[in-house]
Structure 1
Amino acid sequence: MLTLDQIRAFVAVAEELHFGRAAARLRMTQPPLSRHIQKLERVVGVTLLERDNRRVILTDAGRGFLEDARRMLSLVDTAGDRARRIASGAAGTVRLGFTAVSAISMLGTLLKRLSEELPEIDVLLHERVTAGQVDGLLRGELDLGLARPPFDIATLDSRVVFREALCAVVPEGHPLAGLGRPLAPDDFDGLPVISYNPVQSRYFHELTVRFLTNAHPRIEQQVHQILTAVLLVAAGRGVALVPASARSLGVRHVAYCDLVRGGGDPLDQGGGVANEPVELHVIWDRGSTNPALARVLELLPDLESPS
C-alpha cells in the first residue's frame, strides 16, 4: 500500500534529484529514505527514478507520478484545514427551503449576505410550501426554512426576519381598484374571494378570515400558494388578500390596494391604513448538529425589517 511517508520521500528526491539533500530536507538518514523509494516503486510497479553514484534522474513514469504525488500531498495538507473549517461552521452545506413569495422578500438578500460573509458554505435551495418545509426539517432533508407560522415549537425554533403589510389584489379594472382609497372589510361584502387552504396554508387562511370577520364575502376557491391566488385573480375568478411583496411577482392584469380596518380597531389606530402584520420566519430544528447552520443564523438578527 502507498503511504504518505513514501510519497513525501519521492517528492523530496524528485525535486532535489539528490538523496543526500532530500534526506536532509526530510530530517532523516539516507538508508530509510532509499527504502521508502524502493517500496514505493514495488507498489507502483514501475521505475520512477534512475540513480547511480553520480546522479538521480526521473523516468517518464516518475515525472507523471510526481504531478499526482504533489496533488496528493496538497490535498492532505488542505484536508485538515477544511475539516476544521467545517467543524467551526465556516465551511459546509446548508439546505434551505423557501416559498415563491419569500424568495422575493428575503431570499436574494440572504444569499447575497452568505456569499459575501460565508463564501465556503454551499446553499442548496428547495422550493416548498411551509408545510413541506416543516416536514423536510423534521425528516432531516432541510437545515433551514423561510416560512410562515405557526410552527411546532416543541421541535422547531424560529425567528422573524421580515415583516410587511397585508394588501388586496383585484382584477385590473375592478370597481375596488377605482375607489382611490384603502379598502375596508365592508368593501368585500358579497364579493367572490380566493382564500387559502386552512391546513396547507393556515397562516394566510387565518389572516384572510381575521380581516374579513365582519364582512360577508363568497369564498370561491381555496389555494395553497400566493402565486396561485394572484393568477386566479388575474383570470377574473375573484379577489384575494396577499402580502405586499406579491406586487413583485409581475403578474399582469391585476391591481393592488392597501387595506384599512374599520371602527376603532387598534391595528389601524383610528381609521388609518391597516398595518396587518405578515411575518416571514426562518425555522430550523433545534436539535440540528450542522455547524454551518449556527454560523448562518448569526447573520440573521439584523435582517429583520420594520413594519
Structure 2
Amino acid sequence: MFELSQLRCFTTVAMELNFRRAAERLNMTQPPLSRQIQLLEHQLGVALFTRNTRSVTLTAAGRAFLVEAQSLLAHAGQAALTAQRVARGEAGALALGFVASAVYEFLPKVVSDARIGLPGIDIALHEMNTFEQQDALRARRIDLGIVRAPMQHPGIGCECLLREPFVLALPRQHPLASRDDLSVEALHGQPFILYAHSAWQPFNELLTGLFRASGVAPDIVQMLGSTLTILALVDVGMGLTLVPRGASRIRFENVAFRPIDLGPGIRSELYLIWREDNDNPALHTLLHAIRQTARALPA
C-alpha cells in the first residue's frame, strides 16, 4: 500500500506538471522523486502521468486519483492536528456528573464558560446524586463529579469548590417574612420541610445536627429529596425550609427567601471529585476552568 510521502510527491508533481520544479518544492532531487512516482504507479497498477521529453500531463486515472489523494492528505493533516490538540488538553470528550442543586447557579456558569473558553471539549452532563456519582466515578462512567459530600478514598482527587449560606424559604404572608434579623431559634415549633436523609444525606445531617445543637425543634411535616418539590410545598403554605442560596433563583409566586443566621460553619458545600489515574488531558483543562468559575462566583 502506498504511503503519505508518496501522495505528497504525486500531488506536488500533479500541481507543477514538472518534475524539476516539484523536486525543488519538496526539497529533494529529481531521481528519487521519479522513483517514488514509478513505485506509486506500480502499486496502483495504473499510469498516473503521460511523460515525454517536452511535457508531463495527468492521465484520466491520474486526475481521478489527484482528487482522492488531496482528500487523504487533508484528512491525515487534520488527524495529526486533532491528536496534538487532544494531547494538549484542547480537545476531547468528558462525562461530568452533577447533583441537581448545582443547576441553579453553578453548573450553568460552568457550561457557559466552557462553551466559550473550551470549544474543542465535548462535555456530556449526567444528573446523579452524590452516591451515584461516587459509584460512577469508580466504574469510570464519569470523569468528574460535582457532589455535596467529600469523597476521601485513595486515588480520588477531591476539593471543595463552593461554600454558600443557606437561606430561609417561606410563604410571603408568613410573619417571619417581614423580619430581617432571623436566626435558627426562629424556626422552633415552625412547620418545616426537611431534605430526606435517603436523597440528601449531607443536608439532612447538617441541618438536624444544627437543630439538636441549638435546642431548636421545628415541626417536621415532610422530608423530601427534591428542592423543587420542597419549594412547591412552601408555595402552597405547607411549611418553611432551608435551601442553598443558589436555589433562590427558583421562582414561585408565594415563596420569599430571607437571609438567616445559622451560626459559623453552616454552609452548603459543593465538591469536585475525579480519578487521579485518569489520563485524559482534557480532564485537567476542565478542572482548571471549573476552579476559575468557582472563584468568580460571589462568596
In which range does the TM-score fall when normalised by the shorter chain?
Answer: 0.7 to 0.9
Whole-angstrom CA distance in 2 between matches of 1:90 and 1:49: 42
Query: Would you say 1:276 and 2:275 are equivalent positions?
Result: no
Corresponding residue number in structure 1 for 2:110: 110
TM-score (norm 2): 0.83
Which residue among 257, 280, 286 is the counterpart of 1:296? 286
Measure the CA separation in 2 of the matches of 1:55 and 1:138: 66
> 1:23 and 1:280, CA in 2 relative to 1: closer, same or farther beyond 3 A?
same
Task: Name the SS of the counterpart of 2:154 in structure 1.
Answer: coil
Number of matched pairs: 295
Gaps of 5+ in 2: none
CA distance in 2, matches of 1:111, 1:227: 21
Please report how far the alpha carbon of residue 43 of structure 1 lies from its aligned counterpart in structure 2 after TM superposition: 5.3
Question: What whole-Å deviation, never above 9, does each CA across 1:163-220 have from its counterpart, x for those lacking one?
Answer: 211012123433432x423433343334332222324311111232133332222333
Aligned pair in 2 of structure 1 residues 207, 16: CA closer, same or farther (>3 Å)?
same
Deviation at 1:248, TM superposition (A): 0.8
Q: More deviation in 45-54 or 147-156?
A: 45-54
CA contact (8 A) 1:167 1:244 kept: yes
Residue equivalent to 2:196 = 197
Aligned residue type for 1:249 = I
| Partner deviation per Cα, 1:78-108 (whole Å, 9 max, x = no partner) | 4334323322323322322223332333223
Which residue pairs with 1:226 in the alignment? 227
1:241 aligns with 2:242: yes
Higher mean alpha-carbon deviation, 159-168 vs 70-79, is at: 70-79
8 Å contact from structure 2 (residues 150, 159) kept in 1: no
**Equivalents in 2 of 1:231, 1:42: separation in Å?**
76
Quick one: percent identity of the two aligned structures?
37
Distance 1:236 1:53, change over 3 A: farther
SS in 2 for 1:14: helix
Indicate if the aligned counterparts of 1:129 and 1:225 stay in contact, CA closer than 8 A. no
**By how many angstroms is 1:46 displaced?**
5.7
The corresponding residue for 1:271 is none
Do the aligned partners of 1:144 and 1:283 also contact (CA within 8 Å) in 2? yes
Q: Aligned partners of 1:116, 1:150: CA distance in 2, in Å? A: 29
Range moving further from structure 2, 7-16 or 244-253 = 244-253
Where structure 1 has 5 or more consecutive residues not aligned to the other structure, the ranges are: 268-274
RMSD: 2.9
Partner of 1:11: 11
Per-residue Cα deviation, 1:26-77 (whole angstroms, up to 9, x for no partner)? 3455555445445545655665444444323334554443233223223333
Letter in 2 for 1:170: L
Cα distance change on mapping 1:67 and 1:193 into 2, 3 Å: farther
